[in-house]
Structure 1
Amino acid sequence: MNYTHRRILLTVLLLISSGAKWSEGARVFTLVNECKTTIWPAITPGENFNGGGLALRSGQSVVFTAPVGWSGRIWGRTGCNFDQAGNGSCQTGACGTALKCSASGEPPATLAEFTLAAMDFYDVSLVDGFNLPITVMPVNGKGGNCSAAGCNTDLRNSCPTELAVMADGKTVACRSACDVFDTDQYCCRGVYGNPVTCQPTYYSKKFKQACPTAYSYAYDDPTSIFTCLEGDYIITFCAIGRKQTVCTYHNHRLVCSGSSGSASLIYKWLVLMLLCMVSLWSCV
């Protein structure tokens, strides 16, 4: 059983054991690009996310809504060049030649993964390698852990040479040890296909040290999967060493990360107007 199938099974078991019931409702996803360059977020399944892909300029944000029952992944693509028809290529994270993804991205890519239910489950995974820092910040949650997950360290700067993906003399991504060496030990398969025999390796320990709240290898469950009851999610690319407040708008109410109370009315309207001006979100 591979990592993706195992994670789905784990999520289902957690749902059953928690007694959570599927409920009506939706979750607001705010994608924020704090990288210095344009990135191309990809989402599968993408029916509720601009068809699965878009361009997001530096400093720009975009808001989507996904229904309860959606289960999928979000990642960033870099170094892309698409024509007006949405055909092109990317240095990292490509899903074939399409702007709007209908399939998973090519490793290495940092993945934000979600299963939306009455109790949501989410994580950020480096099991398929790393190409961009990603953090997931829940807001508006009514219970559960609702902790921040992800990696706000740029592993490209410390990637071991044997894992590095190079382009134009720069490290543009960091592959997983499984992808590079393709052994049962690194890939947690065969006799290593269980949490007892598949233990952290030299490479997964380096990933975990840099990104304590991200999956570093397939059985890194206890410190890497999080829950939140009816929360909304702010996914930030390249929030390196930053703890700035990011806001999203839901149910006619502005909610900000890192804020325990309500903002003043003037502050709410200022942030909301800024969101409308700098994002792809239509506010009318």
Structure 2
Amino acid sequence: MASRARLPGTPASIAVLILSFFQGSVCGTTFTFSNRCGDTVWPGLLAGSGTPPLETTGFALAPGQSRALYAPQGWSGRFWGRSGCDFDAASAKGSCATGDCGSGEVECRGAGASPPATLAEFTLDGAGGKDFYDVSLVDGYNLPMLVRATAPECPDTGCLVDLNGLCPDELRAAHGRACRSACEAFGSPEYCCNGAYGNPNTCHPSQYSQLFKSACPNSYSYAYDDATSTFTCNHTDYTITFCPKSTPTRSLPKSDHSFTSSFNFSCNFEL
């Protein structure tokens, strides 16, 4: 009996086509978001100018839950966590106490975080083919955050301390759920690094930015804090963890513990 020919639409042939398409090219990056806070966090995502939005621009992340998203080569943008959110289950309409993006819904749809908010910023495949990343408190602080590269030689960065407990009264926001930057609180050029203070020779750390820096030495504390706050890594994946030192007060059923974007595939092919 003659053997049946394998049709070009079978799973095996499709897999070969996928492998041949990606082999020899630089694949994108997977960002995995993890929530170790005791309450739900709603990550917000904003793509940089000239780069496409990711699969989602905002979603809910319950305690103990994680979600992975794929970013294409050369992507840039920022992530943050929204807290104290109240969204209608049916319409997804609502707002957040901190980090709100003003869209009135779970998806931020191209809008950034309303300060104060802890920000994770990325430029993938930048100068020299390297990734550049940082955690910024320039726009204030709302949640502890850790950024960890998959590549073991690349440094962690973030702010693991609960700055809301250390926040001076004049910077407190959202009933103690966030801590403003001095620029947002006072609006003066010496704090905002603009006007006559718009360069690194005239704009220096303030007592407020030094408070942030002493608590979170690897984070951006003011506009010209590049030297100790921006990190680079060869192309790799990253995990962004909210409340990294915390243990969630409740966990999800095992089947719902994590979910991954349909675009999250491995680039480590072996033929």
Whether 2:65 is the aligned partner of 1:60: answer yes
Match of 2:76 in 1: 71
What is the number of equivalent residue pairs in this alignment? 224
1:99 counterpart letter in structure 2: V
Q: Does the Cα contact within 8 Å between 2:46 and 2:53 map onto a contact in 1? A: no
Q: Do the aligned partners of 1:153 and 1:241 also contact (CA within 8 Å) in 2?
A: no
- Give the TM-score normalised by the residue count of structure 2: 0.78
- 1:149 is the counterpart of 2:157: yes
Query: C-alpha distance in 2, partners of 1:90/1:79?
Result: 5
8 Å CA contact 2:67, 2:261 repeated in 1 = no
Could you give the per-residue CA deviations for residues 25-65 of structure 1, whole angstroms, max 9, x where no partner exists? Answer: 11111100010100100101296644200000011111111
Gapped regions of structure 1 (runs ≥ 5): 1-22, 243-273
Shift of 1:166: 3.7
Query: d(CA) in 1 for partners of 2:237 and 2:111?
Result: 24
What is the rounded CA distance, in whole Å, between the counterparts of 2:246 and 2:93 in structure 1?
34
* Letter matched to residue 167 of structure 2: C
1:280 aligned counterpart, secondary structure: strand
Q: What amino acid maps onto 1:207 in structure 2?
A: F
Q: Which residue of 1 aligns with 2:87?
A: 82
SS at match of 1:51: coil
Backbone CA RMSD of aligned residues? 2.1
Offset of 1:93 from its aligned partner?
0.6
Give the superposition deviation at 1:219: 0.2
Q: Which residue of 2 aligns with 1:29?
A: 31
Match of 1:131 among 142, 150, 153: 142
Question: Which residue among 214, 228, 232 is the counterpart of 2:237?
Answer: 232
The yes-or-no answer on 1:121 pairing with 2:132 is yes
Are 2:195 and 1:190 equivalent residues in the alignment?
A: yes
Classify the secondary structure of the residue corresponding to 2:227.
coil
Does the Cα contact within 8 Å between 1:40 and 1:80 map onto a contact in 2?
A: yes
Residue from 105, 109, 117 that aligns with 1:98: 105
* Cα 1:282/1:150, change in 2 over 3 Å: closer
User: CA distance change for structure 1 residues 241 and 207 in 2, over 3 Å: closer, same or farther?
Assistant: farther
Farther-moved stretch of structure 1 (178-187 vs 190-199): 190-199
Which residue of structure 1 lines up, in the alignment, with residue 15 of structure 2? none
- Contact 1:48 / 1:65 at 8 angstroms: preserved in 2? no
TM-score after normalising by structure 1? 0.74
One-letter code aligned to 1:98:
E
Summarize deviations over 1:180-204 as a string: whole Å, max 9, x none: 1000000001111111111110000
- 8 Å Cα contact 2:38/2:246 also seen in 1: no
Distance across 2 between alignment mates of 1:181 and 1:240: 32
How far, CA to CA, are the matches of 1:187 and 1:121 in structure 2?
A: 23
The answer to whether the Cα contact below 8 Å between 1:152 and 1:241 also exists between their aligned partners in 2 is no
One-letter amino acid of the counterpart of residue 114, structure 1:
F
CA distance in 2, matches of 1:114, 1:104: 14
Q: Structure 2 CA distance, aligned partners of 1:174 and 1:89?
A: 19
The correspondence for 1:278, drawn from 253, 257, 263, is 257
Pair 1:39 & 2:46 matched: no
SS of equivalent residue, structure 1 residue 222 = helix
Deviation at 1:282, TM superposition (A): 6.5
Structure 2 CA distance, aligned partners of 1:150 and 1:89? 25
Query: Shift of the alpha carbon at 1:85?
Result: 2.3
Amino acid in structure 2 at the alignment position of 1:25: C
Residue 34 of structure 2 aligns with an amino acid whose one-letter code is: V
Bigger relative contact order (CA 8 A; separation at least 6): 2
Give me the whole-angstrom Cα distance separating, in 1, the residues matched to 2:105 and 2:47. 14
